[in-house]
Structure 1
């Protein structure tokens, strides 16, 4: 209770409780911000009962006072003076996105004694440690459940529920836009551009889908999850990132032909003799027998492997105003309860300081799709290159060129689909490079990693 009294002294006002509400400021009034305001209004009594005090919305910071707003947002609460607003609140909810001015405003809020709730994965992935240190020094909460996978409760379970366990791997679909696009390509035969356009028409993709389709959004979330799971600071620059822009309808057709589905995966795992960490985002073939293969549309799912708990999967809507606002309100209630009753949430745990390795050190499997001359001895030459890099071949499938997916079968050429056993990414990449230089190989059509085996 001491911290609650100190909060009151620092602000020149009584601590939140039965006689004074918890003052809440919201930064940003887009889709999620509007939904947060709606829930604060329509669920006021329930939120007060769960918190122990009424939640009072003291202001909503926006870029323009003239923009059209949902009627649920009281225009008298709108302000363009975010800097002053954050100093008047007990809890600041940041839904602006981007690095600045969000970072400066949150640091200002923390310095004034306010707890912070944010959905800003880009900021946390880029400079989370600055916020963690500031919140810890000020003795306030920093919550960010909504920054990863929308409504899915994944941050709190990894940070708190699994705090007594040893997480070995996190494997997830954390971007609903790309999952919807790949699902459409698989189910309707659309090519990538058509599927992205369809996603935009339905509101699943932004007008500029770059952050989604190039993997940047997933990479920021992967950095956050890796930091939590392995008690090690992982920034977005530590994450190997490949998007889905290179995938074709033929890749999707071959995936289906071989009993897989294509997903954009975020993977964080322990690797190597020094128990280091590798964090990567890239398209991957997932066997139809794996739980992640059944995640359809714009849904997200995160698969966690831990030594004691075993395999856990968290599934749900990963984006949208209402789902994301649900996660924000959960954090807000927790932070507000701490203001009323005392106490503080968990701080950053980076004690392990594990080395973060490049993707070259990751152990994975490849599916290599080659177009080759259709004559005897070709497979032997290909296999010899694989053996030279100590990469074991699991299966080889041959078809007439163009027999699967688009195109016309070619009597002079064949296609080989080679699936490897597990090896380091460095060895696999070198193998593909050297195979592509063989005279009998006319084209390396695609190289995809295989995960979840």
Structure 2
């Protein structure tokens, strides 16, 4: 079995790691669109080899391209660019570091690896004068990372907020439209292929947290890792939460929210978080349904920008990979380099407890005089201002909904904890953060 196929003179030679849903599309498009890609890149771009775990399971691919030895392939003298679509941390991290140290440029869609080890990868790329591109790591086909890295490099970005996981957006959209609960909607999403057999990374927010780390790093010129991102999933979101949101003209979305925050002393920091929120139905993100992604960017000069499209899938993600590949090929042809890591701001990451947020708190309380005063006093004791209150009778009890003004998240959490211990409160029915409204 050959590790590397015979080269075409003058071509940019590509080693492909992984040939699943996305990798298969990349291999197909490299072959079917070879002429157009050559015209765009300035030279032919062709596959030198494809590393897969079990080459005998890929009869659709030319056998001379297949190998199980990824490490040998990425360091071959016949390879110029490594495209990584395997996913995970190890052994992929070792393969890509070896490739970069050998002077190969790297194109990857590996959000988990970038969210934890981008510093190591960028340092290796800089030392070797190689490129590191990763547009496909966040939001699939949507051109998002390149605008943050390049188009907005001269602006000051203050906020990046978006729907970056199609599975959770499909589930919440379906719950909103049907009134069904979380468990049955997840089952339906799995049946239709919108959710993986093990949906943990999606529904528990891990996937979105990795993407938030990448977005925050690029937007704020600061190294942010997935462990810096506050993460909550959607498993506790109920049909009642969606119903309450609907009454108030809102809906519920799982958002990645990255902000440049300035405290009272003028000290700047970065906040990065992923959690369900209520947003007004008039907000641009509220109308993003199904498995689509959308990201809302706020910058000082550019103002408000919206990026929308298919955030996953073989063909859409392959489109982003090939865009990076053409850019890398052009750089190699002219002897240039793409954008490097920009971490010059080195802002501290603000803990979630210190991050300003707003709460929507739904309570089941005793239906008698003085209850609202006790609840309001608990908010006041923690320095949390109330923006709105709605009360309705439910049998011999009352339903009380409180929406707060902005306050440190820890103060809001402490307030809810105290309220839950009041004798007049039967139950804290739900607590959800609110975004997209005046503070």
CA distance in 2, matches of 1:253, 1:66: 52
Q: Which residue of 1 aligns with 2:72?
A: 84
Partners of 1:160 and 1:315 lie apart in 2 by: 18
For residue 425 of structure 2, the aligned residue among 430, 441, 447 is: 441
CA distance in 1, matches of 2:314, 2:337: 28
Pairing partner for 1:131 from 110, 121, 124: 121
Instruction: Name whichever of 56-65 and 138-147 sits farther off.
Output: 56-65
DSSP 3-state at the match of 1:66: helix
How far residue 19 of structure 1 moved from its aligned partner, in angstroms, is 4.3
Partner of 1:419: 403
CA distance in 1, matches of 2:297, 2:420: 36
Asked if the contact 1:365/1:451 (under 8 Å) is kept, the reply is yes
Alignment of 1:431 with 2:415, yes or no, is: yes
5+ residue gaps in structure 1? 1-15, 402-410
For the pair 1:372 / 2:365, whether they are aligned, the reply is yes
Question: Gaps spanning 5+ residues in structure 2: where?
Answer: 1-6
Aligned to 2:396, the other structure's residue is in SS state strand
Q: Is residue 29 from structure 1 mapped to residue 19 from structure 2 by the alignment?
A: yes
- After TM superposition, the structure 1 = structure 2 runs for residues 186-201 of structure 1, keeping only pairs within 5 Å, are 186-201=176-191
Residue 75 of structure 1: aligned partner: 63
Partner Cα separation in structure 1 for residue 215 and residue 36 of structure 2:
31
Q: Map Cα deviations across residues 79-131 of structure 1 (whole Å, 9 max, x no partner).
A: 10111111231010000000011100001111111100000000000111000
- Asked if 1:185 is matched to 2:175, the reply is yes
* Equivalent pairs, count: 426
Equivalence for 2:3:
none
Equivalent residues in 2 for 1:1-400, closer than 5 Å:
19-68=9-58, 71=60, 73-88=61-76, 89-271=79-261, 272=263, 273-400=266-393
Judge conservation of contact 2:385–2:405 (CA < 8 Å) in 1: yes
3-state SS in 2 of match to 1:293: coil
Q: Is the 8 A contact 2:101 2:127 kept in 1?
A: no
Maintained 8 Å contact 1:110/1:135: yes
TM-score (norm 2): 0.95
Q: What whole-Å deviation, never above 9, does each CA across 1:385-411 have from its counterpart, x for those lacking one?
A: 11111211111111233xxxxxxxxx1
Q: Is the 8 A contact 1:176 1:298 kept in 2?
A: yes
SS of residue in 2 equivalent to 1:291? coil
In 1: Cα distance, 2:398 partner to 2:207 partner: 38
Provide the rounded CA distance (Å) in 2 between the counterparts of 1:326 and 1:239.
Answer: 28
State the superposition RMSD in angstroms. Answer: 1.2
Question: Scaled by the length of structure 1, what TM-score is found?
Answer: 0.92
Distance 1:294 1:74 in 2: 44
Q: Distance in 2 between matches of 1:424 and 1:357?
A: 11
